[in-house]
Amino acid sequence: MIHKTAIIDPSAKIGNNVQIGPYSVIGAEVEIGEGTWIGPHVVINGPTIIGRENRIYQFASVGEVTQDLKFNGERTFLKIGDRNVIREFCTLNRGTTQDTQIGNNNLFMAYVHIAHDCVVGSHVIFSNNASLAGHVTVEDHVILGGFSGVYQFCRVGAHSFVSTNSVVIKDVPPFVKVSGYYAKPYGLNTVGLQRRGFTENVITELRQAYKIIYRNGLTVAKAIEELTKMETVEVRDMIQFIQTSNSGIVR
């Protein structure tokens, strides 16, 4: 299950049924969960904790030291959940002031970069060359198009969609579709919501909420006042996201 040319530090903890391909390097303080597959020429450095049944393809660099110039050797982790797919040439860095954390069932296509101190939820798709700067939060069920980028300290809300070649410099509210350089709102992520089983009633409510935020010429404060009159859980999620935004939302 472990190729004879793989180099594994004695302190690494390898779970049951883990496969490690030729010429891969597993460094000190790395934990790899049961059933994970690691292809050839992968480098994993610690402290890094990887969950169960992940697939990490050739030439990926996982758990390397942050590229943040402020990094001064702080002890931080990269923590990866279960059943993630990390494709060729992805770079996932440890944190500077906090751990970099990745959830479950995510797909990171080739050349994706996850910088220091990021938090990525579950069921997220990063298309080729999508990148996160430091301190970015990406919530569950987000799709980032190819060559898209998210500026530091921004948040991307659950079930939102960032189109190809977009640059996000403000927070993207949940359920919203954005596009452009710099990214602007382009409606509700209706297709994604339908695919994930949201009812027509909920989607109709979210459309109305989107119009209140973006189409009625209201300030953010006034839009929130109008949104509080709506009762769906999803709209309340939008309200909470906007109220806790430090970077402001895309407009």
Domains plus CATH for the chain?
7-135 (2.160.10.10), 193-243 (1.20.1180.10)
| Cα 241 to Cα 146: distance, rounded to the nearest angstrom | 25
CB count in 10 Å sphere of residue 231: 8
Half-sphere exposure of 111 (CA within 13 A, CB side): 9
Can you tell me the distance from the alpha carbon of 102 to that of 115, in angstroms, rounded to the nearest whole number? 12
Q: State the DSSP code for 223.
A: H
pLDDT score, position 210: 97
Query: Low-confidence residues of the chain, pLDDT below 70?
Result: none
Cα–Cα dist 32/216, whole Å: 51
Cα–Cα dist 136/85, whole Å: 20
Can you give the pLDDT at residue 231? 85
Q: In 3D, which of 140, 49, 133 has the Cα closest to residue 91?
A: 133
How do residues 194-219 score in pLDDT, each as one tens digit?
999 999 999 999 999 999 999 999 99
Question: How big, in percent rounded to 5, are the helix, strand and coil portions of the chain?
Answer: 15, 30, 55
For residues 124 and 85, is the Cβ–Cβ distance under 8 A?
Answer: no
Q: Which residues are catalytic?
A: 116-117, 134
